[in-house]
Homo-oligomer: A and B are copies of this chain.
Amino acid sequence: MELYPVIMAGGTGTRFWPASRKNCPKQFLSIIGEKTMLEETLLRIKPLVPEEHIFIVGNKEHHFLLQKILKGFRYIILEEPLGCNTAPAIGLAAVHLKNQGVVNKPMVVLPADHYVADGETFRKIISLGSELAEKEEAIVTIGIPPTRPEIGYGYLRRGNEKKTLAGVKVYEVKEFVEKPNYTTALAYLNSGEYFWNGGIFIFTPEIILKEISRYLPKVYEGLKKIEESIGTKSYPEVLDAAYKNFPSISIDYGVMEKTDRCLLTIPGDFGWSDVGSWESVYELRKKERDNAGNLIQGKVISIDTRSSFIFCPNDKLVVSLGVQDLLIVDSKDALLVADLKRSQDLRKVVEELKTHKLNYLL
């Protein structure tokens, strides 16, 4: 079927410091396999569509990284002048699609930096979701069946069963809920009524633009101007001006939590992870660990070392001796040695960098 993947590749993050930086965020890192996460995402969706149907929304700041990775392909790259979270990014893709005459075909919003274990199931679910979005004129989101009481994700509460599509149950969405505390997360898990919100959405450009015009009129106003300038000389200027006025807002908060349109969810049981920390990479790559439980990327000699993650993919030799549960990440200008279980606290580190006025290391 005809569908248009829109890869959200404009994110920045601090949780993979010092490997990730402002000018090289997670989607450009090879932390899960040999390829960058963006490339893995592209490879995952590619069997479903022709290359030129794939839109990648990135940040202008990452122009050269995007070019390096995407050169030679027929993907369509949309560069944002600054990052304003997912609502403007999705809107930008929608007006470009509309400009190409794609109005009532599904666009599939996919984060560029997530992990999926089972690509085949993923593609099946995306196809079903796209069919649903087109036929039902619905907003479809993929619900990830939770496997633990995670407090780092948003959740979807499912409502009535809507139908069964190729053996997969489709539910109405009762509500989108923000990151819960532990007790609530545990209750969500046990209820069987909740899914993780994995940030995968499917809708037509027409529908999402309608929703944006209703709930985010300021964003819509800018998008209209951008739409009119596509293909003209003034496009970059109009784009800059529009983005300067955009609020930074996610599609979840800006539209999904508010809309009264038909919201459907399909469970996506394909081994999903948002790869939110070094520790989660260590967990995901269990099979690649050595006998002592070490996950090692780089030129490393480990002596009496256990349960550690050493990520030093440059030319330097790293020797570990008599240590355990460590995270060691080396880069050209910064080195991190941390308790692997505390890799969530890298935000603290980034705060410290700011305090010390070490902005060049962000």
Contact = CB atoms under 8 A, between A and B. Distances in A.
Contact of A319 (B312, B317, B349): B349
Nearest to A345: B321
State the copy count for this chain: 2
B335 A321 contact: no
Interface residues of A, number: 36
Contacts of A320: 336-338
A334 B321 contact: no
Contacts of A341: 322
In the A-B complex, the 10 residue pairs with the smallest Cβ-Cβ separation, listed nearest first, are A322-B339, A321-B338, A322-B342, A317-B334, A318-B335, A319-B336, A320-B337, A301-B352, A319-B349, A328-B337
A321 B303 contact: no
A316 interface: yes
A298 to B, nearest CB: 10
Contact of A316 (B301, B326, B333): B333
Interface stretch (A2-10, A154-162, A353-361): A353-361
Interface string A296-308: 0000010110000
A315 interface: yes
Contact of A317 (B321, B326, B361): B361
B336 A335 contact: no
